[in-house]
């Protein structure tokens, strides 16, 4: 029997330094990866980078959306709104009847330089818009559209869009606060706004004096007192005056005081103005000054220019017609024909209006 040979093999100790194959350095990864491993790594890195970009875009969009909502809530979103989509029925304007000399200058400024201050509107449930601020600016745009016929340039107006839901009192305050900074707004106009606000069925307050405290909160005490005095005047004579917004503060206050002492002066003033539709601003103010002076003889004297301007016969004819477009109220006087109805004639094509007026005049002979 053969004897088995035994070989002595020395195995490394457990804590001995690790031995690497030839050509390999300890602590270093293999210098080469398989093509499949490299592709998987690159794809994973690209996906991570794409997810990071998408997350950044979503965060930016969320921030922009939140800012849009905030600005919309403040009424700072401005858009180009078609003129024929803007209504002016919800709020009673503080403009009294008569001429508006400043409008001509505003039209020229907008034509040359453009509109620097957008109007403000409230979007309605039917998709149209209700004007809150900027009646004269809107009128200027409509005049430019009628004058030029250029709907591309003047058919839309820059407008700040207010969020829906603000109460009527808040909308009136917005309109009043903007108009308070106007240099040309008169005490008569502010008084008429208070009277109209009190008579609006959509508002809670019915006393014009209390309306002044609410609407003209930003005005000083003295100014609010003047507005209340003009309320006394306008509540009695507004329908008889053509140029109320030209009445200076001192004259209006003095005349209001005279009327409070002698209410019969209202009837006398009305008699003097009745049918005198061709009077000028100077004529009307001169008559009011005579009554404000307290001199009864001077107050009841016939104005010098009136006898020449007033035609013989009836001085004024008023009638109302029912048409398919609604009720029409007509007033005919010396050198004047007025047609009133619930329709915005400034939005009509100028050529169409001219043709209609021409046919009317020719039919009258």
- Helix H, strand E, coil C: the string for the chain is CCCCCCCCCCCCCCCCCCCCCCCCCCCCCCCCCCHHHHHHHHHHHHHHHHHHHHHHHHHHHHHHHHHHHHHHHCCCCEEEEEHHHEECCCCCCCCCCCCCHHHHHHHHHHHHHCCCCCEEEEECCCCCEEEEECHHHHHHHHHHHHHHCCHHHHCEEEEEEECCCCCHHHHHHHHHHHHCCCCCCCHHHHHHHHHHHHHCCCCCCCCHHHHHHHHCCCCCHHHHHHHHHHHHHHHHHCCCCCCHHHCCHHHHHHHHHHHHHCCHHHHHHHHHHCCCCCCCHHHHHHHHHHHHCCCHHHHCCCCCCHHHHCCCCCCEEEEEEEECCEEEEEEEECCEEEEECCCCHHHCCHHHHHHHHHHHHHHCC
Nearest to 133 by CA among 172, 96, 97: 172
For position 308, what pLDDT does the model report?
44
Could you tell me which residue, 347 or 106, shows the higher pLDDT?
106
Is pLDDT of 307 > 50?
no
Band (58; pLDDT cuts 50, 70, 90): confident
C-alpha 174/C-alpha 107 separation (Å) is: 23
Cα–chain center distance at 36: 67
Q: Please compute, for residue 92, the number of CA atoms within 13 A of its CA located in the half-sphere on the CB side.
A: 18
Q: If you average pLDDT over residues 45-49, what whole number do you get?
A: 81
Nearest to 85 by CA among 48, 119, 58: 119
Q: Per DSSP, what are the bridge partners of residue 330?
A: 319, 339
Is pLDDT of 319 > 80?
no
Give me 149's structure tokens: 């016929």
C-alpha 76/C-alpha 59 separation (Å) is: 23
Is pLDDT of 166 > 50?
yes
Nearest to 87 by CA among 138, 156, 162: 138
Residue-level length of the chain:
365
- The answer to whether the CB of 317 falls within 8 A of the CB of 328 is no
C-alpha 323/C-alpha 70 separation (Å) is: 47
C-alpha 108/C-alpha 110 separation (Å) is: 6
Is pLDDT of 97 > 80?
no
For position 310, what pLDDT does the model report?
42
Rounded (10°) CA dihedral 168, 172, 174, 175: 140
Per residue in 228-283, pLDDT tens? 999 999 999 988 999 898 899 999 999 999 999 999 999 999 999 998 888 888 99
The arrangement of secondary structure in 61-183, i.e. its CATH architecture, is Alpha-Beta Complex (3.90)
Nearest to 101 by CA among 180, 184, 182: 184
C-alpha 258/C-alpha 349 separation (Å) is: 47
Q: Which of 6-15, 46-55, 68-77 has the lowest mean pLDDT?
A: 6-15
Is pLDDT of 28 > 80?
no
For position 273, what pLDDT does the model report?
92
Q: If you average pLDDT over residues 98-122, what whole number do you get?
A: 79
Q: Which of 25-39, 71-85, 95-109, 149-163 has the lowest mean pLDDT?
A: 25-39
- The answer to whether the CB of 153 falls within 8 A of the CB of 192 is no
Band (309; pLDDT cuts 50, 70, 90): very low
């Amino acid at each position: 029997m053969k004897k088995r040979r035994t070989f002595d093999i020395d195995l490394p100790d457990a804590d001995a330094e690790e031995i690497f194959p030839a050509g390999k350095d300890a602590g270093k990864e293999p210098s080469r990866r398989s093509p499949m491993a490299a592709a998987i790594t690159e794809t994973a890195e690209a996906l991570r980078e794409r997810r990071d970009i998408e997350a950044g875009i979503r965060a930016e969009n969320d921030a922009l959306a939140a800012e849009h909502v905030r600005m919309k809530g403040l009424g700072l979103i401005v858009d180009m709104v078609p003129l024929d989509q803007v209504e002016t029925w919800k709020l009673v304007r503080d403009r009294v009847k008569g001429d508006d000399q400043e409008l001509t200058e505003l039209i020229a400024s907008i034509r040359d330089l453009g509109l620097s201050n957008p109007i403000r509107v409230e979007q309605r449930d039917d998709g149209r818009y209700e004007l809150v601020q900027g009646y004269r600016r809107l009128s200027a745009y409509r005049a430019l559209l009628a004058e030029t016929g250029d709907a591309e340039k003047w058919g839309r107006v820059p407008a700040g869009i207010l969020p829906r839901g603000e109460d009527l009192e808040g909308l009136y305050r917005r309109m009043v606060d903007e108009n308070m900074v106007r240099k040309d707004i008169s005490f008569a106009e502010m008084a008429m706004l208070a009277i109209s606000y009190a008579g609006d069925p959509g508002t809670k307050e019915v006393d014009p004096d209390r309306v002044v405290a609410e609407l003209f909160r930003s005005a000083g005490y003295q100014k609010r007192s003047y507005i209340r005095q003009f309320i006394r005047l306008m509540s009695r004579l507004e329908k008889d005056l053509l140029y109320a917004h030209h009445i200076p503060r001192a004259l209006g206050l003095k005349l209001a005081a005279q009327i409070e002492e002698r209410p019969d002066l209202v009837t006398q003033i009305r008699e003097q103005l009745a049918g005198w539709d061709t009077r000028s601003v100077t004529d009307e103010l001169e008559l009011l000054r005579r009554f404000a002076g307290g001199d009864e003889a001077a107050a009841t004297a016939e104005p010098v220019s009136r006898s020449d301007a007033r035609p013989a016969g009836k001085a004024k004819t008023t009638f109302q017609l029912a048409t398919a477009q609604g009720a029409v109220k007509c007033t005919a006087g010396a050198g004047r024909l007025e047609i009133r109805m619930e329709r915005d004639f400034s939005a009509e094509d100028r050529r169409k209006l001219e043709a209609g007026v021409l046919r009317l005049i020719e039919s009258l002979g």
